[in-house]
Structure 1
Amino acid sequence: MQADTSTGAADPAQMHGGRRQGAYRSALAHSGRVRLARLALPALAVAVLLVMVLVMVVSRATPTTTLDLSGSAIRDGKLVMASPKLDGFTADGRPYSMRAARAIQDLAGSGAIDLERIQAKVEMTAGVEANVLADSGIFDSEANTLDIMQSLSVETSDGKRADLGSAAIDLADGVLTTDDPVRISLPGAVLEADRLRVEDNGRRMVFESRVRLVVQPGAIGTFASEGEAAAGPGG
């Protein structure tokens, strides 16, 4: 009778090889995630930049701008403007329009104007428009700031969207900050974070706390081409 000397233990060499393969697969997966993030970020940056549309709308009006305040009245020392409308062109010639359900300014106070149910539309590129919606905001002409206290959304006609819980915009410095959750989506990808800071009129973006990027495999080619276009020759 032959004794069975097998103990069922794995061969140490096989175990070592398995660990190496596992580590390789993990590193490869991480490399893939980093690559996908790099490919997706140029397109995501476009979506984030759309939030800065509000900066352009408020701060870059040209002499061709028309302002409709036909529904204005003074009540209790405050200028109440019903359905104010602002139409014009940005500094680089793009048409825009801005509407609010109501705007209120305390005539005895500072230059702050309370805005309710804000809607804005700006042409981004030929055939592509961005629509901005905000529940309420305060525009301070003296401090040159725009504070959106509640939800802010920016959506483009080509499928990009940015949703922020709030936004504080410094018009002079071109800075937008929010400590509320941010969600940016476009065809094939979603980026979420708890906080966001946009600097230098959108050229620098810092996402903080629980940052999560999800990219659909089918969108990789699109992001790659957009990334190459954003990098330019020699990029």
Structure 2
Amino acid sequence: MDQPTLEMRPPLGAPNTSSAKRLQRGGYAAAVKHSARVRFFKKAIPIGAATAVILVLIIGIFDPFGRLRGLSLGPVSLSGTKITMAAPKLRGYRAGSRPYEMTAASASQDARKPNIVELNDITGKVTLENNGQAHIEATTGVYDSQTELLELAGRVNVRTDTGYSAHLTTASVDFKGGKVSSAEPVRVDIDGGSIKADKLDIDDNGKHIVFQGRVRAIMESDKARSNPPAPTND
């Protein structure tokens, strides 16, 4: 399976300081380039799989030709031109018989804008290739069927059972182009380190990941984690 490539880009016009040079010469750069360090992003940011399941949920709720198997809905209300469905829940299987479950507190659609679907309080879990699970949370989601874009906002968190997590304020998902981007600060936590950046771009269905802006990374070596400093007697 192809491993994703990783890039870290400084802000435009940022000075090439001596500290930045030392960081490039140090073990951090080598650790980032090592395939073992890059491989974690497949697990740390399974946003593509999770958002694809959200798309299936949206289509299932408002598909005029029939309801998806595994889809359950709560009460339906109509206010003016807007229809709202409470507590939609979708269970199913992705490729390879990997189960998923996605729920929302509510889903709504305005008859005057039939291409727009709004979701609130989205939660879900998706089984990954290693049989672990990715858990996703988002405060709101707006999907446009004409552009095939999903905008997640408010609080976008993705975490895995193995301890990897990604925290974003917003995320824009382009299903047609296989891209996920965030123009606001993002933090990724991994086993033995973390990365913070001003922006994030994921291309080619997760195979190419770019951190942009002020990128701050902390990576602990295996030796440092296995030999923590002794407590001091203050």
Q: Given the two structures, how large is their TM-score scaled by the length of structure 1?
A: 0.75
For residue 139 of structure 1, the aligned residue among 120, 137, 143 is: 143
Matched, 1:79 2:103: no
Residues 178 and 195, structure 1, Cα contact 8 Å, conserved in 2: yes
Distance 2:84 2:194 in 1: 40
The corresponding residue for 1:17 is none
Partner Cα separation in structure 2 for residue 159 and residue 205 of structure 1? 19
| CA displacement 1:85-109 (0-9 Å, x = unmatched) | 1111123431111100111110221
Matched, 1:54 2:55: no
Partner of 1:173: 177
| Structure 2 match to 1:211 | 215
Coordinate RMSD, CA, aligned: 2.8
Q: Deviation of residue 65 (structure 1)?
A: 4.0
State, as a whole percentage, how many aligned pairs show the same letter. Answer: 29
Residue 125 of structure 1: CA displacement?
Answer: 3.4
Bigger shift: 51-60 or 168-177?
A: 51-60
Determine helix, strand or coil for the equivalent of 2:74: coil
CA change 1:146–1:171 in 2 (3 A) is: same
SS in 2 for 1:35: helix
The gaps in structure 2 that reach 5 residues or longer are: 1-20, 61-66, 226-234
Q: Which protein is richer in helix relative to its size? A: 1
Size of the aligned set, in residue pairs, is: 198
- Secondary structure in structure 2 of the residue aligned to 1:131: strand
| Deviation, structure 1 residue 48 | 4.5
TM-score by length of 2: 0.75
Q: Which structure's relative contact order is higher, taking Cα pairs within 8 Å and 6+ residues apart?
A: 2
Pick from 88, 98, 118 the counterpart of residue 94 of structure 1.
Answer: 98
2:205 paired residue number: 201
Runs of 4+ displaced beyond 3 Å: 26-29, 58-65
Note the C-alpha offset of 1:56. 2.4
Corresponding residue of 2:38: 42
Q: 2:25: which partner in 1?
A: 30
* 2:115 aligned to which of 111, 114, 118: 111
Asked if the contact 2:44–2:190 (Cα under 8 Å) also holds between the matched residues in 1, the reply is no
Determine the structure 1 residue equivalent to 2:5. none
Matched-pair contact (CA < 8 Å) for 1:44–1:185: no
Alpha-carbon contact 1:96-1:122 (below 8 Å) kept: yes
Q: Is the 8 A contact 2:164 2:190 kept in 1?
A: yes
How far off is 1:141 after superposition? 2.1
Query: Structure 1 29/172 Cα, relative in aligned 2: closer, same or farther at 3 Å?
Result: closer
